[in-house]
Amino acid sequence: MSRRPRRAAVLSGIVTVCVCAVAPAALASPPATPPPGTPNMAAMVIQPSDLEPGASIAAQRYVTPPKDFTAEYATLYTDVMTTAGTNFASIEDDVALASSATPGSNLEAVDQELFATPAGRRGFVKGYIKAAGKKLHLVPKDFKFSATASAGVGSASFVEIITVRRGGHHFDEGFVGFVDGDTYSGFVLTASHIPQSDALALAQTADAHIHATLGSGATGASGTT
């Protein structure tokens, strides 16, 4: 689930960037069939009704979960607006389910360290530049990290917004991760500018969906949706 390569459409229009993302980017993984009795994970992620009218899902499906997790579901929106009025080039939301809280806690700690420590940030930038390709000519000074903050949900969480500048162009990449009970949820956000409040609101909304789904006890359809 962590640090998988993804492709994100950059709002400035100058390029499609390959991103070494902390959040899942799981749609690059092959479809998977969740175990019998798995909760309806399609209801545990951001829904079109959580966004401004007209939002549509570009991709969604169960995917192969990371080690120690039993199931993972990923959804991707492109060119959508939040209720706060921010235009996003993409919103990717993934949720993974385990049989205990330990896998999620471990993953949140690893992912947060990627952004909260100098060594983690250097590794992220190095991987991002490599994935983006030589034609972008990105260098470490093109990346500006916000202070890593809590997303205020679950038992542990983080939110990080990174601004990438090259010449007269810039865009933001936002990363959110949180563990709540036996689930771990991650976001990768792309926009020309991402207010931290939008990232927090999306995490809170997803967490409410997780609680509602797990509380209902309903199981969902297996396989690709």
**Helix, strand, coil % in the chain, rounded to nearest 5:** 30, 35, 35
On whether the CB atoms of residues 60 and 42 are closer than 8 A, the answer is: yes
pTM of the entire structure? Answer: 0.85
Which of 64, 59, 62 lies closest to 76 in space, CA to CA? 59
Contact by Cβ (8 Å): 143, 38 = no
Report the alpha-carbon distance of residue 203 to residue 186 in Å, rounded.
Answer: 8
Per-residue confidence (pLDDT) for residue 216, from 0 to 100? 67
Amino acid, res. 71: A
If we measure between CA atoms, which residue out of 215, 219, 151 comes closest to residue 187?
A: 151
Per residue in 122-140, pLDDT tens? 988 988 888 878 777 889 9
pLDDT tens digit string along 54-77? 898 999 999 988 889 999 999 999
Residues 204-214: what's their mean pLDDT? 95
Q: What is the pLDDT of residue 25?
A: 52
